[in-house]
Structure 1
């Protein structure tokens, strides 16, 4: 089941799409207006999100709905991210940094790199503009599988864009928070797919295109099978000895890295697709 949030200008509505029809779950349960509400209700009922949604669709009206109309599907209290989880990411971080050995050490270490990425106010949804810092000369999108967690447990998956200022991070690794956390630094969407529907998250095709003035500047694809660590391992390290939020997202790292020298520019269009989830599209502005 795919779960979308529809913002009709007055109220948010939770839409469940089973592949055959889209249902307005908010019409039968007004307190359910995004996936986080559904996850909370399923937790209280001690059932799965899909099982609860299927029960509600018996009375929910079917609606005409296009994924392009979707808003940010969830508003997580915190977004965190994992770094250097793919070999190409480790190589790219080495290339940008004056201290390359530290990234190789992380890639091969038992403990992954887990860092804070975004607050709700810094996170945008599909169709909204992602931001690149005006004080950075090298800015890139980072397409990633996002794990959606409720109370520390995996309940779904989404697409994330961990927009990053590589020139700032490369100048000194201690500048990582400034390279990663700023206005419009993260996008999520277009939907959340339940963990049950995804099945194995380590065998999904992921692709990204970057267009500028009608010309495709970058296009490539990869697979989450290339991740050096499992989603479960990343979640274990994120939740260990940490007071995690009730609703959170953990991004899992990228294996799609534009060649050295490419930088995002305002009005670029970034499109990220992950098998079984959909496509997340954003334009670019300077912040």
Structure 2
């Protein structure tokens, strides 16, 4: 099948070239990496700055991909979160029909928005640090959209023009803090390492239908969440338009779009993560992240 122009799997990585993060292109899920920093030294090393460069940055990445050079074996690199320095991490609650049914919650009339601090972002295969302050740490596989074009008061018909692509996220949640003192959502969501992200920023041209992707989460090999982005209550264009009514969206901003049923707090009895557990989150066409709890 012919690859569409602009269809890319953008990554950040560390490798044999030194400790500093580099930009790259993943050649398919789990494939080798094209070292963009070596191929195009003028490109920024920050994904956020790369996205800010717009079409010129994407054209440079396309040249590197087409050149057939600067391939790095996958086994020699460590993938990092695709965006390491987002200005904002915006999250959506109760955005899956089946998740609302799971907890007997009323379907919201408008998107429920909260946030994480950027310091919660960690890599696709890095450890999740179980905080001493919580005994109820939970998993939430989520589709994440990465903003690629600045905008405010964005209209729904053009909202996806402001999205660069998509990635896999785990909205790790400390349920005891999330429900504490009148619902401390921010504190329960934003402990360090509570936003594993990756493995790649998959540009929207590379995704057949972002609203029809299988989404799953396993804990220690046991499938806990298994749904489809068809279940989203508020699709991406509506979410982007809604959020942009209140804040200016800028390149590199991360928008987590909600989780399907199967989280630990609604198991009978509830199940929470403990040190030594391994959490694997997967979205069709985007890839898999896997994080150990320490």
TM range (shorter): 0.7 to 0.9
1:37 aligns with 2:36: no
For residues 217 and 274 of structure 1, the distance between their equivalents in structure 2, rounded to whole angstroms, comes to 16
For residues 249 and 36 of structure 1, the distance between their equivalents in structure 2, rounded to whole angstroms, comes to 10
Matched with 1:144 is: 142
What TM-score do you get using the length of structure 2 for normalisation?
0.81
CA deviation map 1:14-72 (0-9, x unaligned): 121343863211112223324333322224x3x8x3x5422233444222224973122
Q: Aligned in 2, Cα 1:40/1:281: closer, same or farther, shift over 3 Å?
A: same
TM-fit CA distance, 1:233: 0.8
1:239 aligns with 2:248: no
1:23 aligns with 2:34: yes
Matched with 1:162 is: 171
Matched with 1:97 is: none
Matched with 2:154 is: none
TM-fit CA distance, 1:210: 0.4
What TM-score do you get using the length of structure 1 for normalisation?
0.83
Q: Could you list the runs of 4 or more consecutive aligned residues of structure 1 that deviate by over 4 angstroms after TM superposition?
A: 91-94
Which SS does the other structure have where 2:246 is aligned?
coil
For residues 177 and 83 of structure 1, the distance between their equivalents in structure 2, rounded to whole angstroms, comes to 12
Which SS does the other structure have where 1:108 is aligned?
coil
Q: Aligned in 2, Cα 1:155/1:80: closer, same or farther, shift over 3 Å?
A: same
Matched with 1:57 is: 65
Q: Aligned in 2, Cα 1:24/1:124: closer, same or farther, shift over 3 Å?
A: same
Matched with 1:78 is: 88
CA deviation map 1:96-152 (0-9, x unaligned): xxxxxxx52xx330x201111121x22110221123443333221100000000224
Matched with 1:99 is: none
Correspondence list, 1:262-277, <5 A: 262-277=271-286
For residues 12 and 272 of structure 1, the distance between their equivalents in structure 2, rounded to whole angstroms, comes to 24
Q: Which moved more, 1:151-160 or 1:68-77?
A: 68-77
Aligned residues: 265
For residues 91 and 135 of structure 1, the distance between their equivalents in structure 2, rounded to whole angstroms, comes to 30
Q: Aligned in 2, Cα 1:25/1:112: closer, same or farther, shift over 3 Å?
A: same
Q: Which has the higher strand share?
A: 1
Q: Which moved more, 1:216-225 or 1:198-207?
A: 216-225
CA deviation map 1:144-166 (0-9, x unaligned): 00000022410010011111122
Q: Aligned in 2, Cα 1:171/1:36: closer, same or farther, shift over 3 Å?
A: closer
CA contact (8 A) 1:67 1:190 kept: no
Matched with 1:100 is: none
TM-fit CA distance, 1:198: 1.2
* Aligned partner (choices 4, 7, 13) of residue 22 of structure 2: 13
Which SS does the other structure have where 2:24 is aligned?
strand
CA RMSD of aligned residues (A): 2.4
For residues 208 and 62 of structure 1, the distance between their equivalents in structure 2, rounded to whole angstroms, comes to 31
For residues 84 and 173 of structure 1, the distance between their equivalents in structure 2, rounded to whole angstroms, comes to 18
Which SS does the other structure have where 1:129 is aligned?
coil
